[in-house]
Amino acid sequence: MPVISIAIQKGGSGKTTTALNLGAALSREGKKVLLIDADPQANLSQSLGIEDEPMFNLYSELKKEILQELGDLSKAIIHTPQGMDIIPSSIDLAIVELEMAGLMGREYLLTELLNPIVDDYDYVFIDCPHAISLLTVNALVASDFVMMPLPGEFLPLKGVYGFMRQFDIIRKKLNPRLELMGMVMTKFDERKSMNIGVRRQLEEKFDGKVFQTVIRTNIQLAKAQEAGTDIFSFDRSANGATDYRKLAGELIRRSFDLATV
């Protein structure tokens, strides 16, 4: 089943919001979803109400692999009331790159941890840090696809181009199966010419790789995360719920099309 990194070289682009609510939408369609919080800030974990750092988390199992012990991500899985599973983050992920330094095969640690459990799920989403770090590299090496959320603004657009340069290197040298699932516009307002212009530029540069569904600006999305839940549990009539439901349907179709190519 597809492992999808949600990544872009720009903070505040909607990665965590997309991982949370796209996962929730797919779960409501009967799909079994695993979320992996690979960001030391732990925003995804907190958005699902996990305030205290669990004993078992992504870092605890990566650390075992670094020490050449046997890590087990199944120990870190938390079953959420929203119907999804999550492997939570840890603040200690901020130092994991130093601990990986000089370790042979360090780019494949997450792949090795995921292999025993990935087939238990229909979709696995990895919420990546906004920088191209070893954590992000590990996520991309473990993934089949990359999905890039971004607002329709100039700086996030530059983040796409910067990220794609790294994407090409990783695909060439570390993970030849990695493909671009597509870009999804977030915080979108069709009345803003900049939003329209950025989307047009993406469609011209990345033909067929821009999702038709856009995620409109919606304060309820932020309020849901503050409440520690997804938009469907918080306000299923909100625009954010409508948009992520549509995006889930488009993702299912796109996943099927890419799998049959």
258 vs 62 pLDDT, higher one: 62
CATH of the domain at 106: 3.40.50.300
Q: Which of 7-21, 53-67, 153-167, 202-216 has the lowest average pLDDT?
A: 153-167
DSSP character string of the chain: --EEEE--SSTTSSHHHHHHHHHHHHHHTT--EEEEE--TT-HHHHHTT--SPPSS-HHHHHHHHHTTS---GGGG-EE-TTS-EEE---GGGGGHHHHHTT-TTGGGHHHHHHTTTGGG-SEEEEE--SS--HHHHHHHHH-SEEEEEEESSHHHHHHHHHHHHHHHHHHHHT-TT-EEEEEEEESB-TT-HHHHHHHHHHHHHSTT-B-S---B--HHHHHHHHTTS-HHHHHTTSHHHHHHHHHHHHHHHHHHHHHT-
- State the pLDDT at residue 260: 60
Mean pLDDT of the chain, nearest integer: 93
Number of structural domains found in the chain: 1
Residue type for position 53:
E
- State the pLDDT at residue 9: 79
For the cut 60, the answer to whether the pLDDT of residue 104 exceeds it is yes
Please write the tens of the pLDDT for every residue from 70-89.
899 999 999 999 999 999 99
For the cut 70, the answer to whether the pLDDT of residue 261 exceeds it is no
222 vs 154 pLDDT, higher one: 222
Residue range of the domain that includes 130:
3-259
Q: Mean pLDDT throughout 144-154?
A: 91
- State the pLDDT at residue 168: 94
